A and B are shown apart, each in its own frame.
Chain A
């Protein structure tokens, strides 16, 4: 007697939020065979059953309403999905990726050899380390062992409140905030900006209001929606209710008119900006800090591209007097050292930053980091330490210089074709205006006709409509080839 099988076709509620995922994983329907108990009376009673879709088991757990608010898949997987579809369509085309801002050049050896060395050390008794401090490596391991010969059985390292040597946190403080009064224990090492942004949102909670630049890196808005800080998406204006969108356009020099911006608790500000490439001036940032001070707001300042700055613009919000009382800064080795896969970043939360009741924000952030995180990979931390050594800094500046040259080439190309071109000078992104056109249409046109992947501006917010972001991360030969193709298309 065989079990009766009823294949069950479960159709997923396929919304656009799943499009990227479906593209990657290729499941559109799922079948589920559920063997029914065998009847013992010797005959098989076959009852015609209707399609069992309606009786598929579901839990009684309600979907998080915040997830339902999200409009589409995260932007970059969607771009990746379209690229993949394009490659399938044109298997012989040489597709060039200037879309997702993914680094392409090898990491300098001074850095990878430090990581290799750390990896190898993990196989030795002296060099093995387990859990590190969640905020980032503190005790210099070899030094510790040599100095603790009177305690041969002591092999556990001690924690965050210790005042012992904190090599990576101290090294980051010195390298990037040398004269700005930011100390090693203001620095929280992480696995990168995207994770940090979400941990900051968890820190702030659902009860805060936020402002973002428009256009901006999508993680700020999306994490805000997920956290429950927003209301519904308003399709007519392409904005989430309860978020203050600070328009950044050519007309206002890509700096918001603060006189028109409502007060919010949190202000996300990215400079040099992804996607527009604009770097805020000292004067602009002074006004921003004053605005935050007047409103009692907290700026979350994303400085991931600071080393791309060519001119005198501030590389850190903490260059502005008073910023320590109003700002958090987040940054990353992704675009400096090609650590997009290696994963290492940091967040600065100054001691002086206080909630309305005087409670230090850093104390709560530390609690989040200790509870919701377990430290960046120790191997990546060794790599980061090498990045900020004198040789490491020199090497990463060379790689940054290379990408900046790419940006120059891209800018020159679009300029020569008569486009209004922004960015590219202080950031590895070139922001090209296609007035009156839908940015997804331009994206598709460029992809179809030149096999070059870019990123449609509207993916960064309604303020990005009519623009396309071209990233400068590429092998030189590919950048030159892409530009040749652009010239063909738009001549």
Chain B
């Protein structure tokens, strides 16, 4: 809503912001949730929409954060600015815990306040002149940040796609892995595995193809491994498990879904030293410059918590919560399967991807919400490749998941 009267500046609105089609997906879901609650004040609304963790963080971690906070009131314990790249011990712990056999150095790990921020900082790094490819469907931040930084052209209503972006369709027909032989070359390839929203974890063979593709094309993969802790089978947990990936890939990840840190805010990006621009400048140098100029480090308290998460006791505690959510996912997968719905994901990721062929995903979303008071996310919010699907998250208290399961069974029977 514009102000009715008053001064207009002479500053033109950023054309890239004008290009964005909708509001960011998840606040939109929140608005709908709120409206629904207002409409049905006595309904017991269940949120399986936004992928927000629900279970308390294990004591060992929060106690360490509380201790760290209290120590900031003491002369010996007070610390001011930390290194923008992150606390050294934490960088080391991340390298050892997640990349132990993969030769990732602590100096290649950049601690952050989470993937959403990292994605945007990477976009700032890469600039507006690079071409990008995204999976379709995909977590919207890659697409939206790409538009914001000016890498895309206008949105086309006919195709529901932005110009100048390569959309790599991922669906049941291609085992949720793009057909690279029909994918055009782009500078950057965003790839999320295990995938949000489809839940698919790319196999070793698939990732070898991806790395080879990137290598042939001189492209950079930005690999989002935020859900790697949810992998049940032998699927790779890091792109660096693939030989040659160090020269073609950046990896981002997060404590959000691994440690319940969605509010605490902690993540990291790996930029290997071997990753070079066409003019041989190491990307790590420029990324470091971005981090030093556009950021001032993740909260020291969050970092203290992160370090505890990676202690052996902390790590076991984290995995126990991850297992809890994985058990939730299984309940949901079983529920939908028992209703003869085609269900994907839920095995290597906390998302269940349910197919409603021939239906519009916003219609299914609305029907589920209206009739069972369950919030989900319509697949088309993740790109045109998500049309006809609904994403259901496995984050929730067990009794809530069971209740949701009961309601869904009665709706779709």
Q: What residues make up the interface of A, taking CB atoms closer than 8 Å to B?
A: 10, 12-13, 17-18, 20-21, 24-25, 27, 30, 32, 56-67, 70, 73-74, 76-77, 100, 102-109, 111-113, 115-117, 119-120, 122-125, 127-132, 134, 150-156, 158-162, 191-192, 194-195, 197-198, 202-208, 218-219, 222-223, 226-228, 265-266, 292-293, 295-298, 322, 325-326, 338, 340-343, 351-360, 364, 367-368, 370-380, 383, 473
* The 5 residue pairs across chains A and B that have the minimum distance between CB atoms: A60-B218, A296-B10, A159-B30, A64-B127, A205-B14
Residue of B nearest to A373 (CB): B117
Given contacts A374-B113, A379-B299, contact A63 B24 (CB under 8 A): no
Question: Do A341 and B299 touch (CB < 8 A)?
Answer: yes
Question: Do B12 and A207 touch (CB < 8 A)?
Answer: yes
Question: Do B70 and A59 touch (CB < 8 A)?
Answer: no
Q: Name the one of B27, B69, B279, B295 contacting A62, with C-beta atoms under 8 angstroms.
A: B279
Docked pose: A330 CA to B18 CA in angstroms:
24
Q: Name the one of A30, A57, A120, A341 contacting B300, with C-beta atoms under 8 angstroms.
A: A341
Which among A104, A128, A191, A352 has the highest number of chain B CB atoms within 10 Å?
A191
B-side binding surface: helix, strand, loop or mixed? loop
* 13 more CB-based (< 8 A) A-B contacts, given A10-B280, A102-B81, A194-B296: A27-B107, A62-B279, A63-B279, A123-B56, A128-B56, A131-B52, A150-B42, A203-B17, A222-B293, A296-B10, A322-B7, A370-B24, A376-B113
Q: Which residues of B contact A30 (CB under 8 A)?
A: 273-274
Docked pose: A273 CA to B9 CA in angstroms:
25
Within 8 A of A (CB), among B260-289: 260, 262-265, 273-282, 284-286, 288-289
Q: Which residues of A contact B284 (CB under 8 A)?
A: 21
Is B229 on the interface with A (CB-CB < 8 A)?
no
Cross-chain pairs A/B with CB under 8 angstroms, 7 sampled = A107-B73, A112-B69, A295-B10, A373-B116, A374-B114, A377-B299, A379-B301
A68 to chain B, nearest CB (A): 8
Is B307 on the interface with A (CB-CB < 8 A)?
no
Q: What residues make up the interface of B, taking CB atoms closer than 8 Å to A?
A: 1-3, 6-17, 20, 23-24, 26-27, 30-31, 33-34, 37, 41-47, 49-50, 52-59, 61-63, 65-67, 69-70, 72-75, 77-85, 107, 113-114, 116-117, 119-120, 124-130, 140-141, 144-145, 148-150, 187-188, 215, 217-220, 247-248, 260, 262-265, 273-282, 284-286, 288-290, 292-302, 305, 375, 395, 397, 400, 403
Question: Do B289 and A67 touch (CB < 8 A)?
Answer: yes
B241 to chain A, nearest CB (A): 17
Docked pose: A106 CA to B127 CA in angstroms:
40
Given contacts A62-B129, A128-B57, A367-B24, contact A198 B6 (CB under 8 A): no
Question: Do B69 and A58 touch (CB < 8 A)?
Answer: no
Docked pose: A238 CA to B191 CA in angstroms:
41
Question: Do A153 and B69 touch (CB < 8 A)?
Answer: no
Docked pose: A62 CA to B127 CA in angstroms:
10
Question: Do B14 and A364 touch (CB < 8 A)?
Answer: yes
Question: Do B2 and A202 touch (CB < 8 A)?
Answer: no
A-B pair number, CB within 8 angstroms: 416
A125 to chain B, nearest CB (A): 6
Question: Do A364 and B17 touch (CB < 8 A)?
Answer: yes
Question: Do B289 and A70 touch (CB < 8 A)?
Answer: yes
Docked pose: A354 CA to B5 CA in angstroms:
11
Q: Which residues of B contact A113 (CB under 8 A)?
A: 69-70, 73
Q: Name the one of A56, A223, A227, A296 contacting B280, with C-beta atoms under 8 angstroms.
A: A56
Q: Which residues of A contact B217 (CB under 8 A)?
A: 60
Residue of B nearest to A161 (CB): B31
Given contacts A338-B72, A370-B23, A377-B301, contact A207 B15 (CB under 8 A): yes
Q: Name the one of A62, A119, A380 contacting B62, with C-beta atoms under 8 angstroms.
A: A119
Residue of A nearest to B248 (CB): A59
Q: Which residues of A contact B302 (CB under 8 A)?
A: 377, 379
Docked pose: A210 CA to B134 CA in angstroms:
33
Residue of B nearest to A219 (CB): B293
Question: Do B278 and A360 touch (CB < 8 A)?
Answer: no
Residue of B nearest to A134 (CB): B27
Docked pose: A308 CA to B177 CA in angstroms:
57
Question: Do B130 and A61 touch (CB < 8 A)?
Answer: yes
Q: Which residues of B contact A203 (CB under 8 A)?
A: 14, 17
Question: Do A207 and B14 touch (CB < 8 A)?
Answer: yes
Question: Do B292 and A77 touch (CB < 8 A)?
Answer: yes
Q: Which residues of B contact A77 (CB under 8 A)?
A: 84, 292
Q: Which residues of B contact A374 (CB under 8 A)?
A: 113-114, 116-117, 262, 265
Given contacts A77-B292, A125-B56, A360-B3, contact A115 B27 (CB under 8 A): no
Docked pose: A156 CA to B45 CA in angstroms:
9
Q: Which residues of A contact B144 (CB under 8 A)?
A: 371
Residue of B nearest to A108 (CB): B73
Q: Name the one of A124, A158, A228, A296 contacting B8, with C-beta atoms under 8 angstroms.
A: A296
A337 to chain B, nearest CB (A): 10
Q: Name the one of A27, A152, A297, A352 contacting B10, with C-beta atoms under 8 angstroms.
A: A297
A182 to chain B, nearest CB (A): 15
Question: Do A130 and B219 touch (CB < 8 A)?
Answer: no
Question: Do B11 and A266 touch (CB < 8 A)?
Answer: yes
Q: Name the one of B8, B85, B127 contacting A358, with C-beta atoms under 8 angstroms.
A: B8
